[in-house]
Chains A and B, each alone.
Chain A
Amino acid sequence: MIKKPSPAYALSLCLLGCGLVASAAHAADSDWKRGRIYYRQVCTACHTAELKKPIAPNDRTQAEWAAYLKADKHGKGKDTVKHYFSSHYRDSIKAENAAAAKYANLPEKDLIEDVRAFLHKSAKDGDSPAGCS
């Protein structure tokens, strides 16, 4: 016999569902254009200046970008990806970098989500693959 869930448990499942939907809606609210600006004017600019080798969004698949952001290892683990979204980092470059200055007060997680949204759509297998420019 299958036990009927209590009303409170059913409510909790409902709310959990709502929570997931809300979370998805939040992801959909990410500003991919702001992510594009940060990626190009901070990430690409630095890679071009320091390494002479920018990484285009369409150099990686969606899964590869997702894995990269989840692993949070930058420079083969020398530091974290998050560091480059932190307010500390933005403060350190904002005198020379207009994007870092413009977004100096933006919450780090918002900026990461924006860049994540841009990379997701612009990846090799994304809806709109994008190169460096």
Chain B
Amino acid sequence: MRTGIFMAAIMASMLLAPAAHAASDPATEKLLKSTSDHTKFKALQQKFNSGPEVTQACLSCHTEASKQIHKTQHWKWEYTSPEGQLLGKKSVINNFCTSVASNEAACNICHIGYGWKDDKFDFKSEINVDCLVCHDTTGNYRKPAGLAGNVVTKPMEFPPGSGSMIKPIDLKRIAQAVGKTSRDNCGACHFFGGGGDGVKHGDMDSSLASPDKALDVHMDALGLNFSCATCHLTQGHQVPGSRYAPTAQDKGDAHLRGKEYTSNPTTCQACHGQAPHKKIAKLNDHTDKVACQTCHVPTYARGSVATKMSWDWSTAGRMGPDGKPLTRKDAKGRVIYTAAKGDFVLGENVVPDYLWFNGRVKYTLRTDKVEKSDQPIRINHFEGSAGDGKSLIWPVKIMRGKQAYDPVNKTLAVLHMAGNDDTAFWTNFNWERAVAVGMASVGAPFSGKVDFVATESTWPITHMVAPAKDALRCNDCHGKDGRMNWKALGYAGDPQSGKK
């Protein structure tokens, strides 16, 4: 009996000692920033077998969340521009993986929902909304490609018969650890746009998950540590700052707390105002002509993750000597050719292109007629000019490539790339069959012929803001070997030299 009492005392001291220590050392105490501990919610103390089951539990408290999500671009993948063009992932064609249509099961791992595999998806379902993809804090939430945005909760062989197993995730643990969105949440899709890390944007890749100050002064993990939502200030799940609705020039003042604004909170001016340069006020003379990003994002793809600068689909489909799909890598071990996708040109630490931009973007849609010529088809076109009073000189990434089109109907092709079927290009490497299925999926006519046309698309450069010491200096633009192509910008020469 005495032994038992002694052991109990020992165990009690083991249990209580850390608590006492924590209580006596405020420096080690963690401040719980949320008012809720989700492990304590009964609705989350259960085994979940699917994503919608978790959402149902979330909705038992957050009653309006799905209704809010249903009104967002993240859910609809649709946006009608001020010019009346129907845009959004659901509709547009780009010159990366080209289009979502007929590839939903693969592409829609980045839809903010569960189960969008074809045109029968229920956009009114509240439980189809995926809360965890944005609110997971464990970093372990995954939506494997090919499963239409669904999650895996039991070991699963995929594709069937491949011998490749998908590791399940623990939805209960993830649901009990939800929190505010972080760069990891947004980055799970936005860092990997275009089919891989850094492929699409150039100024967004996985290096921004935990960047240092040199890579981004705002997101610096040891400094300001901005999340995406710090700038993309979200209300009712509406995330401002979409590239479909860009703000080229913000003439407003810095936003004050407590005051309501209708302007875009993601602009530099929304925090820094109109005269941000205090030490060298002369620099403020530039702000009516030059976007902040032009000087403060001197190069993109600076985080050791390459971005694709060019993608030639016309060379796809080659087999190696062994009869298997060919892959080639460059000296750094980076993939520059695959049979599935064709040839790539990669870039790191890239100097942007510069153009006048007034905030209006015109797209070439899949119903528009295109002509093959010496000039590339502009998938999208940033409008603006030196004299319109609305434009600033902006840094952009120009993505170039060749992609499939129908030379008879003269339309860009919708390509059925991915799928465990015998028409998908990545399965059979047959362009005509893959395009036939793709075009049929959107009700577009197809002549049966496939050719390739040069295209280019334009992407704003706005992340990877460098420290002030690394911003462009006068001579970077105005010097003898300055980076600006003044003639392309509408000047006779360097305006500083008097040539206007």
Interfacial chain A residues near B207, Cβ < 8 Å: 133
Interfacial chain B residues near A12, Cβ < 8 Å: 4, 7-8, 10-11
B222, A98: Cβ atoms closer than 8 Å: yes
A99, B7: Cβ atoms closer than 8 Å: no
Interfacial chain B residues near A132, Cβ < 8 Å: 304
Interfacial chain B residues near A32, Cβ < 8 Å: 138-139
The interface stretch among A16-24, A68-76, A79-87 is A16-24
A29, B12: Cβ atoms closer than 8 Å: no
Q: How far is the CA of A84 from the CA of B169 in the complex (A)?
A: 33
A128 at interface, CB cutoff 8 A: yes
Q: Which residues of A contact B (CB under 8 A)?
A: 5-9, 11-12, 15-16, 18-19, 22, 26, 29, 32-33, 36-37, 40-41, 98-99, 102, 105, 107, 110, 121, 125, 127-128, 132-133
Interfacial chain A residues near B167, Cβ < 8 Å: 125, 127
B162 at interface, CB cutoff 8 A: no
B4, A105: Cβ atoms closer than 8 Å: no
Q: How far is the CA of A114 from the CA of B165 in the complex (A)?
A: 29
| 22 A-B residue pairings within 8 Å (CB atoms) | A6-B1, A6-B4, A7-B4, A9-B7, A11-B11, A12-B10, A12-B11, A15-B11, A15-B12, A19-B11, A22-B15, A29-B30, A33-B221, A37-B210, A40-B210, A41-B212, A41-B222, A110-B28, A121-B140, A125-B167, A127-B167, A132-B304
Residue in B8, B140, B169, B223 whose Cβ sees the most chain A Cβ within 10 Å: B8
Which residues of B in the span 245-273 have a Cβ within 8 Å of any Cβ on A? none
B222, A102: Cβ atoms closer than 8 Å: yes
B8, A15: Cβ atoms closer than 8 Å: yes
Which residues of B in the span 1-52 have a Cβ within 8 Å of any Cβ on A? 1, 3-5, 7-8, 10-12, 14-15, 18, 27-28, 30
Q: How far is the CA of A94 from the CA of B165 in the complex (A)?
A: 44
B12, A107: Cβ atoms closer than 8 Å: no
B76 at interface, CB cutoff 8 A: no
Interfacial chain B residues near A11, Cβ < 8 Å: 4, 8, 11
Q: Which residue of the partner chain, among B1, B14, B210, B305, contacts A8 with CB atoms under 8 Å?
A: B1
Q: How far is the CA of A10 from the CA of B14 in the complex (A)?
A: 16
Please judge, given known A-B contacts A8-B5, A12-B4, A29-B30, whether A98 and B15 are in contact too, CB under 8 Å: no
A127, B10: Cβ atoms closer than 8 Å: no
Please judge, given known A-B contacts A8-B1, A9-B7, A133-B207, whether A121 and B305 are in contact too, CB under 8 Å: no
Q: How far is the CA of A133 from the CA of B210 in the complex (A)?
A: 9
B7, A133: Cβ atoms closer than 8 Å: no
Interfacial chain B residues near A22, Cβ < 8 Å: 15, 18
Chain A minimum-CB-distance residue to B305: A133
State the Cβ distance, B23 to closest chain A Cβ, in Å.
14
Interfacial chain B residues near A102, Cβ < 8 Å: 222
B15, A99: Cβ atoms closer than 8 Å: no
B18, A26: Cβ atoms closer than 8 Å: yes
Q: Which residues of B contact A (CB under 8 A)?
A: 1, 3-5, 7-8, 10-12, 14-15, 18, 27-28, 30, 138-140, 142, 167, 169, 182, 184, 197, 205-207, 209-210, 212-213, 221-223, 303-305
B213, A8: Cβ atoms closer than 8 Å: no
Please judge, given known A-B contacts A11-B8, A16-B11, A33-B210, whether A121 and B139 are in contact too, CB under 8 Å: yes
Number of A-B contacts (CB under 8 A): 80
B140, A128: Cβ atoms closer than 8 Å: yes
Please judge, given known A-B contacts A8-B4, A37-B210, A133-B206, whether A128 and B222 are in contact too, CB under 8 Å: no
Q: Nearest 3 CB-CB pairs, A to B?
A: A8-B4, A15-B11, A127-B140
Chain B minimum-CB-distance residue to A99: B222
Chain B minimum-CB-distance residue to A41: B212
Q: Which residue of the partner chain, among B18, B140, B304, contacts A133 with CB atoms under 8 Å?
A: B304
Interfacial chain A residues near B210, Cβ < 8 Å: 33, 36-37, 40
Q: How far is the CA of A107 from the CA of B30 in the complex (A)?
A: 14
A19, B140: Cβ atoms closer than 8 Å: no
Q: Which residue of the partner chain, among A7, A16, A98, A107, contacts B28 with CB atoms under 8 Å?
A: A107
B15, A18: Cβ atoms closer than 8 Å: yes
Interfacial chain A residues near B222, Cβ < 8 Å: 37, 41, 98-99, 102
Chain A minimum-CB-distance residue to B303: A133
Q: How far is the CA of A15 from the CA of B7 in the complex (A)?
A: 10
A15, B15: Cβ atoms closer than 8 Å: yes
Residue in A7, A16, A33, A37 whose Cβ sees the most chain B Cβ within 10 Å: A33
State the Cβ distance, A25 to closest chain B Cβ, in Å.
10
Q: How far is the CA of A22 from the CA of B12 in the complex (A)?
A: 12
A98, B4: Cβ atoms closer than 8 Å: no
Q: How far is the CA of A106 from the CA of B39 in the complex (A)?
A: 27
Interfacial chain B residues near A7, Cβ < 8 Å: 4
Interfacial chain B residues near A121, Cβ < 8 Å: 138-140
Chain A minimum-CB-distance residue to B140: A127
State the Cβ distance, A44 to closest chain B Cβ, in Å.
11
Q: How far is the CA of A133 from the CA of B213 in the complex (A)?
A: 15
Interfacial chain A residues near B3, Cβ < 8 Å: 9
Q: How far is the CA of A95 from the CA of B362 in the complex (A)?
A: 50
Chain A minimum-CB-distance residue to B27: A105
Q: How far is the CA of A58 from the CA of B182 in the complex (A)?
A: 22
